[in-house]
């Protein structure tokens, strides 16, 4: 492409004159491919989304208000917010620390650490939930001991937080590692020679440089934390009004043939997804403007 | 501020980056660390700044060992190769950084900081750029911001890593003179790293030539050029023509030139004779060299001479005999310096050296080509 730009050959020049680049397909092929893509997008993405909202609105706005006023629904929304409020900040701190460590230092076991960070992405969420049951469940390794102390982890909020934190761990670190490696350590070293201490360097140099990438990672982490189903389902125990997060509540209501209730909460989750997408687009644009490379 | 580097050693994964380096830099000196890439010059500079830790040896500044002193407390100005300006801060905030991070007891007031930043920017002739971001200014301007930022903490010692590496030739030339003047005016002691021998020769009081983590020679540019300590320094410091020779009883016979004998102090055995093109004399009479072409434009007189399978491009000074094309002539190599082969061979066997040497050869070739 660059070659033709520098030395426009005769065919390329004529193609420009006819208003069409030499590499382009015939108009019919182009149209067919475009239509296929659009149809698939509508069928697979847009159509389900529309179904969610039409089903939620089946009994009008009143049905939605009623569904949201259900104590179980309120409890599910509250629990989801609590789980996200604990696991997202936790993973943000751990993710920044891990990314800094991996991007700035070469040490034995660095490759292993990267693999470990990415482990939750390759493991089935059900397994991610099951390990906590095996550790802290009634018949698990530490279950009986915890039981004697009166601490409940499985089928309780701590279990939900643990499972969610495990599943969402990679997002912040994975977003930051390439960004920090791309930016290099030179600015931090410059700050060091100018007399700045560790915390000053982090707050004044590192953090401002990674802020858009960090927000991006936090956003993805949050979306997953609120939407996680598999891992949470295993540790939840499905106690209505107590250990049901929003995705679990959707399934439970759906199984009860409460279509409006199920789709109302599903609609809320979908709104969250749409909001995430919008913010993500803005962030990608900001990170691009900063000259950072993403993933 | 005097700086003493004592027997510094540092290795990365078994490869020696610094191999017993010792060097003393006097107050007010401007010293260049010159060497091909991978010769350890940047590692040395970073060790002085405290960004790299040496395996053994000591760094002494004004009689005080700074071995255990962390980088942030050394008060050494460091200008990074690609400037490493804080990209999210304006030029003025960049320069103010070193003052703003001081503990409250030693921090100047906000107004004092502003005044000092502005006077530094004025000194760097970029007083109008304070509000810009690094990405909005040119490379030469960034270089000046990096300098202003390093000087804001009032260092006695300034370290510069390839300060002109990322600039185009024209900007580079003017900045060289300017930086040298700044060094004098501010009474600094400076060490700078470069792989460009012309830059080192032009700016430095003394030049330390490094190869594979060792200092090969430290001298003034003039001495370094006139009396290179070994073949590597000879070739690195300027255009060189090499002849293989054999030394016996303090006399060197050059391969293929039986009538040339060079007295020298090398041990007997194989050796190399090195000479700068302008030191080669041409003498009339039948001889091994044949003149291919001659150029005579203005005061510049050059001949292209063929000898066996090599071609030499030689300047002929005013007042010397200028042969015609097609003539044969004898060579006067009496100014050649003879070095034993052994030191060179030892150098080549050192790890990492082979790849580090190829760029010099390449630049020498380019220099030779461009001068034809």
Q: Is B149 on the interface with A (CB under 8 A)?
A: yes
Residue B198 shares a structural domain with residue B88: yes
pLDDT tens digits along A41-73: 999 988 988 988 888 888 888 888 888 888 888
Q: What is the ipTM of this complex?
A: 0.79
Residue B296 shares a structural domain with residue B215: no
Residue B146 shares a structural domain with residue B191: yes
pLDDT tens digits along B54-86: 999 999 998 889 888 998 889 899 999 889 999
Q: What is the CA radius of gyration of chain B?
A: 25
What pLDDT does A156 receive? 83
The alpha carbon of residue B143 is apart from the nearest alpha carbon of chain A, in Å, by 14
Residue B144 shares a structural domain with residue B158: yes
Q: What letter would DSSP give residue B277? A: G
Name the residue ranges covered by the structural domains of chain A.
1-56, 60-290
Dihedrals φ, ψ of A197, to 5°?
A: -90, 175
Residue B7 shares a structural domain with residue B108: yes
Cα separation, A45 vs A43, in Å, equals: 6
DSSP for A208-227 reads: HHHHHHHHHHHHHHHHHHHH
Contact B278, B238 (CB under 8 A): no
What is the mean pLDDT of the segment spanning B271-299? 86
> pLDDT-based confidence at B172, cuts 50/70/90?
confident
Total number of residues shown for chain A? 295
- A8 pLDDT above the threshold of 50: no
Distances (CA, A) of B59 to B36, B51, B305: 23, 13, 51
Of B75, B78, B101, the CB nearest to A196: B101
- B34 pLDDT above the threshold of 90: yes
The count of domains in chain B is 2
Q: Which of B45, B47, B87, B156 to mutate to test the interface with A (most CBs of A within 10 A)?
A: B87
Count of C-beta atoms within a 10 Å radius of residue A287: 20
Cα separation, B210 vs B214, in Å, equals: 5
What is the mean pLDDT of the segment spanning B287-305? 85
Instruction: Give the A window 167-196 contacts with B, CB below 8 Å.
Output: 186-187, 189-196
This model's pTM is above 0.90: no
Residue B183 shares a structural domain with residue B237: no
- A294 pLDDT above the threshold of 70: no
CB pairs under 8 A between A and B: 65
Cα separation, A178 vs A141, in Å, equals: 38
What pLDDT does B324 receive? 84
pLDDT tens digits along B222-262: 999 989 998 999 988 888 888 888 888 888 888 878 778 88
Q: Please report, for the domain that includes residue B337, its CATH number.
A: 2.40.50.140
Residue B211 shares a structural domain with residue B337: no
- A150 pLDDT above the threshold of 60: yes
Q: Kindly report the CA angle at A205 between A200 and A209, in degrees rounded to 5?
A: 145
Q: Please report, for the domain that includes residue B153, its CATH number.
A: 3.40.50.300
Q: Name residue B275's beta-bridge partners.
A: B241
Q: Which of B43, B99, B101, B155 to mutate to test the interface with A (most CBs of A within 10 A)?
A: B101
**Domain that residue B46 falls in:** 3-227
> pLDDT-based confidence at A21, cuts 50/70/90?
low
Higher pLDDT, A185 or B353: A185
What pLDDT does A194 receive? 94
Chain A, nearest residue to B106 by Cα: A195
Residue B105 shares a structural domain with residue B58: yes
What is the three-class DSSP state of B294? strand
Cα separation, A2 vs A151, in Å, equals: 66
Superfamily of domain A60-290: MetI-like (1.10.3720.10)
Count of C-beta atoms within a 10 Å radius of residue B344: 16
> pLDDT-based confidence at B98, cuts 50/70/90?
very high
Residue B198 shares a structural domain with residue B249: no
């Amino acid at each position: 492409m660059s070659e033709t730009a520098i030395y426009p050959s005769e065919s390329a020049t004529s193609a420009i004159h006819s208003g069409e680049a030499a590499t382009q397909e015939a108009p019919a092929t182009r149209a067919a491919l475009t239509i296929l893509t659009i149809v698939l997008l509508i069928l697979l993405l847009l159509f389900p989304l529309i179904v969610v909202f039409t089903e939620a609105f089946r009994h009008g706005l009143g049905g939605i208000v009623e569904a949201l006023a259900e104590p179980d629904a309120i409890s599910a929304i509250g629990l989801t917010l609590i789980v996200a409020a604990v696991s997202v900040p936790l993973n943000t701190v751990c993710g920044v620390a891990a990314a800094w460590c991996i991007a700035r230092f070469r040490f034995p076991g660095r490759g292993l650490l990267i693999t470990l960070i990415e482990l939750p992405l390759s493991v089935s969420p059900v397994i991610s939930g099951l390990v906590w049951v095996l550790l802290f469940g009634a018949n698990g390794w530490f279950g009986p001991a915890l039981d004697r102390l009166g601490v409940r982890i499985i089928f309780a909020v701590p279990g939900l937080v643990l499972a969610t934190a495990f599943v969402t761990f990679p997002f912040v670190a994975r977003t930051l590692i390439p960004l920090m490696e791309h930016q290099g350590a030179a600015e931090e070293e410059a700050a060091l020679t100018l007399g700045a201490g560790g915390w000053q360097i982090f707050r004044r140099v590192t953090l401002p440089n990674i802020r858009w990438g960090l927000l991006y990672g936090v956003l993805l982490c949050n979306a997953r934390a609120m939407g996680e189903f598999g891992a949470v389902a295993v540790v939840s125990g499905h106690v209505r009004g107590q250990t049901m997060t929003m995705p679990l509540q959707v399934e439970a209501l759906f199984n009860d043939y409460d279509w409006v209730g199920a789709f109302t909460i599903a609609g809320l989750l979908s709104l969250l997804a749409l909001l995430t997408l919008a913010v993500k687009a803005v962030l990608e644009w900001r990170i691009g403007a900063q000259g950072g490379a993403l993933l | 501020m005097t700086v003493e580097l004592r027997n510094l050693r540092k290795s990365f994964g078994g490869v020696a980056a610094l191999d017993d380096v010792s060097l003393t830099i006097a107050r007010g000196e401007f010293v260049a660390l010159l060497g091909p890439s991978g010769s350890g010059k940047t590692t040395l500079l970073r060790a002085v700044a405290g960004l790299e830790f040496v395996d053994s040896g000591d760094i002494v500044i004004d009689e005080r060992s700074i071995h255990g002193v962390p980088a942030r407390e050394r008060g050494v100005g460091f200008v990074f190769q690609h400037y490493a300006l804080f990209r999210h801060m304006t030029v003025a905030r960049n320069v103010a950084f070193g003052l703003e991070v001081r503990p409250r007891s030693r921090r100047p007031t906000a107004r004092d900081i502003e005044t000092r930043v502005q006077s530094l920017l004025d000194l760097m002739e970029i007083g109008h750029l304070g509000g810009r971001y690094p990405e909005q200014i040119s490379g030469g301007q960034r270089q000046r911001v990096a300098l202003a930022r390093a000087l804001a903490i009032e260092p006695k010692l300034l370290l510069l890593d390839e300060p002109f590496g990322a600039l185009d030739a024209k900007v580079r030339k003017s900045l060289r003179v300017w930086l040298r003047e700044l060094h004098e005016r501010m009474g600094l002691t400076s060490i700078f790293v470069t792989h460009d021998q012309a830059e080192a020769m032009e700016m430095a009081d003394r030049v330390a030539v490094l190869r594979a983590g060792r200092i090969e020679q430290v001298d003034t540019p003039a001495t370094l050029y006139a009396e290179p300590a070994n073949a590597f320094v000879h070739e690195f410091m300027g255009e060189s023509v090499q002849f293989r020779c054999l030394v016996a009883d303090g006399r060197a016979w050059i391969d293929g030139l039986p009538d040339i004998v060079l007295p020298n102090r090398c041990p007997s055995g194989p050796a190399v004779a090195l000479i700068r093109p302008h030191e080669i004399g041409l003498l009339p009479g039948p001889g091994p060299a044949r003149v291919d072409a001659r150029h005579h434009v203005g005061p510049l007189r050059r001949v292209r001479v063929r000898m066996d399978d090599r071609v030499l491009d030689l300047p002929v000074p005013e007042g010397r005999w200028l042969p015609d094309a097609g003539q044969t002539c004898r060579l006067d190599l009496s100014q050649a310096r003879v070095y034993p082969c052994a030191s060179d061979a030892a150098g080549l066997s050192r790890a990492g050296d082979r790849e580090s040497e190829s760029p010099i050869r390449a630049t020498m070739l380019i220099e030779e080509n461009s001068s034809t």
